[in-house]
């Protein structure tokens, strides 16, 4: 991690991180512009390169920071520690994600975009960390008790349905000017409960 960067005031750190998360999430690595990042962050380009050296240096830092931050939220919320209920576990994960988004609204969109990243230079920088983060998320999902599912219903497809639904809600909320993680979470949880009732009705 970048020790010099963390000597900055927290407000400035977050402003730079949020700007980079937004632009990389929107355009992907190759098409993201450092000019747009510094404009959004309201800093000079020289300052950005002083702390990160290059665009790829910023991207690598950002991916490492984002995955660590989300993983920390999962740990602090004890996600999966004692819970194996399928929908209850999903709601724990969702709550931890919302907690991360309360500080960094675009962090999950950035991670989703990074998961799809194919540009060789970017992939080479994040490949190891991306695989580690994927294993962490898969391990959480594997804790879910699937024995309660009716035989005619695919538990993996239900998880995908939850993800598609929640991602759609998240995208809609992020389009507004004043994103609130608590409102996003409340609406998303309503949909999770509705899907749970549909599965076990």
Q: What is the pLDDT of residue 3?
A: 84
| pTM for this predicted structure | 0.94
Q: Which two tokens stand for residue 70?
A: 């989300």
> What pLDDT tens digit does each residue of the chain (201 aa) get?
678 899 999 999 999 999 999 999 999 999 999 999 999 999 999 999 999 999 999 999 999 999 999 999 999 988 988 899 999 999 999 999 999 999 999 999 999 999 999 999 999 999 999 999 999 999 999 999 999 899 999 999 999 999 999 999 999 999 988 999 999 999 999 999 999 999 987
Q: What is the pLDDT of residue 102?
A: 97
Please tell me the distance from the alpha carbon of residue 138 to that of residue 134, in angstroms, as a whole number.
6
Q: What is the pLDDT of residue 77?
A: 87
All structural domains of the chain:
59-199 (1.10.357)
Q: What is the pLDDT of residue 22?
A: 98
């Amino acid at each position: 991690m970048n020790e010099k960067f963390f000597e900055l005031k927290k407000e400035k750190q977050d402003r730079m991180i949020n700007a980079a998360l937004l632009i990389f999430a929107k355009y992907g690595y190759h098409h993201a512009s450092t000019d747009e990042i510094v404009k959004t962050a309201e800093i000079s380009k020289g300052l950005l390169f002083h702390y990160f050296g290059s665009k790829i240096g910023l991207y690598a830092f950002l991916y490492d920071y984002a995955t660590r931050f989300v993983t920390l939220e999962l740990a602090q919320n004890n996600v999966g520690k004692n819970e194996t209920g399928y929908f209850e576990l999903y709601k724990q994960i969702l709550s931890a994600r919302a907690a991360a988004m309360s500080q960094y609204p675009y962090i999950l969109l950035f991670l989703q975009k990074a998961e799809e990243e194919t540009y060789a230079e970017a992939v080479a920088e994040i490949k190891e960390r991306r695989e580690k983060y994927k294993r962490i998320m898969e391990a959480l999902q594997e804790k879910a008790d699937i024995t309660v599912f009716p035989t005619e219903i695919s538990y993996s497809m239900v998880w995908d349905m939850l993800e598609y639904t929640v991602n759609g809600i998240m995208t809609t909320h992020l389009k507004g000017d004043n994103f609130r993680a608590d409102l996003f979470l409340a609406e998303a949880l309503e949909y999770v409960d509705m899907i749970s009732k549909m599965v076990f009705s």
